[in-house]
Structures are given as C-alpha cells and as structure tokens.
Amino acid sequence: MSNVLVYPNAFSVEECQRIIRERLEVDTTPAYSPGMQVDPDIRSSMVNFMYSDCVDGTGCEWIFDRLWELSREHPLGAIVEKLPFIQFAEYDSHYAGHFKPHRDTENFYHATDKKNFTRKLTIVINLSDPSSYAGGDVRLYDVVVNDDPLIGQRDRGCAIMFPSNTLHEVTKVTAGIRYSLSAWFEARI
C-alpha cells in the first residue's frame, strides 16, 4: 500500500458543503466512459469541471492549491507537473450511479494533452456525508488487503491518492447521492 495514500481530513465538512453547493450551481453533463463516449452500462454519473484558470467564477483556486499540497506527499508526487482540471461528480441512486473497473490511463481523457503528457496520480475526495448514501465505494483492485480489494474510506472530506494506472471502480449507489471530486496529476511522456 506504499503507493496509496489516504488523507482522512483533506477537506473539512464546511469545505465539502461549499464545494457541493457551488458545483451544483454549474451545469452537469453525463460523464464519459473510455473511448470518450457516454455509456451508462460502464459509467453512470453526472459531472462538471473546474479548470486551473477557474474561469467559471467560483474561485476554485484554493481547491487546486490543496490538491497540489497533498500530491507532494506521494512518492510519485515529485514527477508530476500538471493538474489541468478537477472533476466534480454526482452518483445518484435514481440512475444507479457507478463506474465499472477501469484505469485512469485509458483513452477517455478530457481536455488533456495526450501527446506530451500522461496521467500519473489520481486523487478522489468524498464530499458526501457517508450516512446520506449507500454503495458508491471506491475499490482499488490492484491493492489487495486480506485477499480483497482495498476500499477507500467513506469519511466526508477524505481523499485517497494512487497511481493512475491502478484498476479501480465506483460501485453502484443504491440509496441517496454520492458527490466527489477527482483529479489527475500529469507528467511528461
């Protein structure tokens, strides 16, 4: 587990509530699956994005700064050079929100310079109160604990960081709504 880092209090409850409130004011669209297509059998969620220039007026610079701080602690953090965007995601039980097993290095980059950069580190932050939803677990299949995949902590504000080529999924949300942030730190190819 040396390549997986967990930050139990990466964001406070108040910060999580603020992010959810601000991101819900921005239009969301169905999320892409590998191949840059919408395929609800593979992935069913709604998303919107924050870019490093924070042009949507929400003042998101502080979120980028926080993620950069966290990345410095990861063994692979020394080689990352770029954090082009952060994805806000909604996984709702009404449409069985989920994302089947995948690697973040697969061909479904959004606004990424794939000719010169590749994803190296993935970070996922749970924004929701864990008692407000069921299911929606982040499972890392390449990280095994007692013969089972590692399941990310569900605490609100908790972040998990791992190499982007790690096989992982978000299981179906069976009750409520799970909100999260995901981001991908990149390095030159």
Tell me the average pLDDT of the chain: 91
Provide the 10 A C-beta neighbour count for residue 16.
Answer: 22
User: Of the CATH numbers 2.60.120.620, 3.55.50.30, 1.10.10.10, 3.30.70.1450, which one belongs to the domain with range 5-188?
Assistant: 2.60.120.620
- pLDDT on residue 33: 79
Cross-strand pairs, 145? 148
Instruction: Name the residue ranges covered by the structural domains of the chain.
Output: 5-188
Shortest CA distance to 1 belongs to which of 156, 154, 160, 169?
A: 160
pTM value is 0.94
Q: Show Cβ contacts of residue 147 under 8 Å, excluding neighbours closer than 6 positions.
A: none
Three-state secondary structure string covering the chain: CCCCEEECCCCCHHHHHHHHHHHHCCCCEECCECCCECCCCCEECEEEEEECCCCCCCCCHHHHHHHHHHHCCCCCHHHCCECCEEEEEEEEHHHCCEEEEECCCCCCCCCCCCCCEEEEEEEEEECCCHHHEEECCEEEEEEEECCEEEECCCCCCCEEEEECCCCEEECCEEEEEEEEEEEEEEEEC
Query: Which among 21, 26, 16 has a CA at the least distance from the CA of 158?
Result: 16
Per-residue pLDDT tens over the stretch 156-165: 999 999 999 9
**Tens digit of each residue's pLDDT, the chain (189 residues):** 568 999 999 999 999 999 999 999 999 999 987 777 889 999 999 999 999 887 666 789 999 999 999 999 999 888 999 999 999 999 999 999 999 999 998 765 665 667 788 899 999 999 999 999 999 999 999 888 888 898 999 999 999 999 999 999 999 999 999 999 999 999 988
